Amino acid sequence: MAFAIDIHHALDTLTREVESYRVPVVDLIAVQTKDPFKILVATILSARTRDEVTAAATHRLFALADTPAGLAALSLTTIEQAIYPVGFFHTKAGHLQKLPQGLAPFGGQVPNTMDGLLTLPGVGRKTANLVLAMAFSIPAICVDTHVHRIMNIWGYVQTSTPLATEQTLRQKLPRKYWLTVNSTLVSFGQHVCLPRRPRCDDCILNNCCPKNGLQL
């Protein structure tokens, strides 16, 4: 790729553009509840799952249990039935069943550190970073498949894995974008810059996207 997009122009433009898009479910739960536990559970459920499926699953689960104590009282079968058909629902139900025990060393509260979050069942770096940003407003770069893919399309990074993308972005992405880059690019990736059939003709960045060989 001969050049990289102007990251300030791209993210500032998209921040305004995605305001009219449907809000990602984890962001919506964060705004509505400001509850780290609900944000954590929704983030776990959202992995490799469409937003509308995640939204329905969280609604059903939180109707049964919306605290660690409530979750601890549910059987594995009940959790599975509540969250189906999210991706890998058997595995995620197992993680959720163990979550109250995982939170016990933290007084039943969701920890606000990367090291603490990574001790919890079903939590990797992507989930931990999103919880830090969404639940605690701690600057953290959450890199999911949309962020990894779009940043490479833009030529801003040249990486082969989301972890490598996160590490590179930590070195070069202006800190003012850390809290919002995931939400912005997830919305953009779900509505316009689609993985299989990107809507380039409808893209507000079409005239400056390296994929099209154009530059401001």
Q: What is the mean pLDDT of residues 5-15?
A: 96
Task: State pLDDT tens for residues 64-102.
Answer: 999 999 999 999 999 999 999 999 999 999 999 999 999
* Domains observed in the chain: 7-22+141-212 (1.10.1670.10), 25-136 (1.10.340.30)
Q: Where are the alpha helices (DSSP H) in 137-207?
A: 145-153, 162-172, 181-191
Tokens of residue 143, six digits: 């890199």
Residue of 121, 173, 134 lying closest to 24 (CA atoms): 134
What value does the mean pLDDT take over residues 38-52? 94
Q: Is the pLDDT of residue 103 over 90?
A: yes
* For residues 12-21, average pLDDT: 94
pLDDT of residue 213: 56
Instruction: Find, among 189, 88, 179, the residue nearest to 132 by Cα.
Output: 179
Residue 24: predicted pLDDT = 87
Tokens of 10: 């791209």
How does pLDDT run across 105-147, given as a tens digit for each residue?
999 999 999 999 999 999 999 999 999 999 999 999 999 999 9
Task: Write out the H or E segment, with its range, that includes residue 142.
Answer: none
Distance CA 21, CA 201 (A): 17
pLDDT bin (cut points 50, 70, 90) of residue 203 is very high
What would the mean pLDDT of 25-36 be, rounded to a whole number?
A: 94
- Contact criterion met (CB below 8 Å) for 97 and 74: yes
Measured CA distances, 152 to 101, 169, 175, 190, 205 (Å): 39, 11, 19, 16, 15
pLDDT for the residue 1: 44
Given this model, what pLDDT does residue 150 score? 97
